[in-house]
Chains A and B, each alone.
Chain A
Amino acid sequence: MFDRFLYIIVFIVFALQTMISCTCSRTRPDDFVIPDSIHDVSPEMLHDLSDDIVDNLSSSIETASLFKSLDVPFSQKYLASTKNISDYHTACDKAFNLGVFGADLGYLNMYGKTSMVSVYVLAMKNLADGISIGQFFNYATLKRLSDNNENIDSLIYISQQSFNRMDRYLRQSGRGNLSVVMICGVWIEALHLSCRFYVETANVRLAETIGEQKIMLAELVRMLQLYRNREETAALAEALTLLQNAYEPIEISVQAGDLDRIEQDGNLRIVQNETTVVHYTGEQIDEIVRTVELVRNKLIRQ
């Protein structure tokens, strides 16, 4: 009797193992190919990415790094309040505000405000649990790193990695809509911070950064349109449309240039001389700033 039971269990375990190994692979041997030689790469291969979600769209780390490089002083007053999380009932609300807090966390990390980090990671943990992705948010490590005032780069690494894992899991588990909503949250909050600091400093670099977000906004709209039949993303789609209207007069051109390859001590650096140029007026940026505040505060209910 035990023998028979044993064989059945062994069979089930083998079957489960096979299923797990077939479904958990994160890599995709794509159906198109690339050889070692770049000459064999066809433009079709490069452009056939319409269903792909673009990575690093929201650039919260780059934005926070820009603030620091411009010596913009730290300001807590522009961050989203974690006290509102009981108001976020739907999965979309939770995903969006998880993104918002993610951008604020990146800002706090960059400025080394570890005492405030623990408040944000707790709020993020609650929101992540609310949409069943809390297991990918490394709360314990983040809390330990912030409590012990440890290395900022480690905090950024664990924060980013937690965020990327939650995002990937959402897409792998058929909830790509929440992934897009979360990315929108990060992007809008990073843009909001740029807008606030632009109002304070009138810095040209910040104005350019705000203006060039037109490129990212177009991609976010495209990604959200993949889920246009979902009622829960309607408020966000409406917000992005308002932003698109504000961005409409901004023009972005490309100035041609070659690449420079600099090799020093065995390290390779490639300098791109082709540049994007943002054409804007102060009034146009002011209109974007007003619209960003309107839609951001409405979406986070602040």
Chain B
Amino acid sequence: MKKRIFFFLFLSAAFVAPLVKAQTEAQRIDLCVKAAGDVRFLSDYPVQLSGSGSGEKAPVFRKAIALHKGNRYRLTLCTDEESAGEGVLQLFDENKLVGSSFNTKTGTDYQSFDFDCRKSVFYILFISFKEGKEGSAVAILSHVKTL
């Protein structure tokens, strides 16, 4: 009888676990959307990166995004509580950095930054974790207003 109970508990846990994980990701996105403030949601980017060993360079998440002239966008990064590394979000126009959630000169982290776009082009969103640590985060792209 005990074996049967164990068997059915095991089956339930095995099939529920992935659903719980999926729900957690949705909750993380919802929380980060709230953190972005009173803006219009455009897209979400859940990121989970492994850490790098000594001498190795850290892995990075990248995504090409179209931003359109005459709009203010907000980029928000929410590093997960259990993440080992602190996330950094950077926005590039070709090979030129146009925005970052981390100011390397002052050491200041910003959860969000706004970008007044005056050039319709494809930008590249980079997300990495400081010191090449393992980490997980959610980034949100949202529309603030027409300029």
Contacts and interface: CB of A to CB of B under 8 A. Distances in A.
**Genuine A/B complex:** yes
DSSP class of B's interface residues: helix, strand, loop or mixed?
strand
Interface stretch (A76-84, A87-95, A155-163, A293-301): A155-163
A59 interface: yes
A275 interface: yes
B46 A35 contact: no
Contacts of A61: 40, 42, 143
A270 B64 contact: no
Contacts of B29: 161
B17 A17 contact: yes
B40 A65 contact: yes
Given A28-B61, A38-B97, A270-B113, A56 B128 contact: no
A2 B3 contact: yes
Given A54-B122, A268-B113, A46 B68 contact: no
Interface size class of B (residues with CB under 8 A): 35 or more
A154 B116 CA distance: 24
B122 A275 contact: no
B79 interface: no
Nearest to B7: A6
A38 B100 contact: yes
Contacts of B50: 29
Contacts of A53: 64
A283 interface: no
B33 A157 contact: yes
A57 B118 contact: no
A13 to B, nearest CB: 5
Nearest to B117: A272
A272 B119 contact: yes
B64 A52 contact: yes
Interface stretch (A19-27, A127-135, A172-180, A227-235): A19-27
Given A56-B43, A65-B71, A34 B17 contact: no
Contacts of A41: 92, 95, 97, 126
Interface in A143-163: 153, 156-157, 160-161
B14 to A, nearest CB: 5
Interface string B82-124: 0000001010111101111010100000101111111111101
Nearest to A68: B146
B89 to A, nearest CB: 11
A209 B69 CA distance: 8
Nearest to A29: B59
A55 interface: yes
A160 B40 CA distance: 9
A35 B58 contact: yes
B62 A25 contact: no
Interface string B23-64: 000000100010000111111101111101000111111111
A97 B126 CA distance: 32
Given A27-B61, A33-B52, A275-B119, 6 more contacts: A6-B7, A34-B62, A61-B143, A164-B43, A208-B69, A268-B113
Q: Which 9 A-B pairs have the closest CB atoms?
A: A33-B57, A34-B60, A29-B59, A69-B146, A268-B113, A269-B114, A157-B41, A275-B118, A271-B116
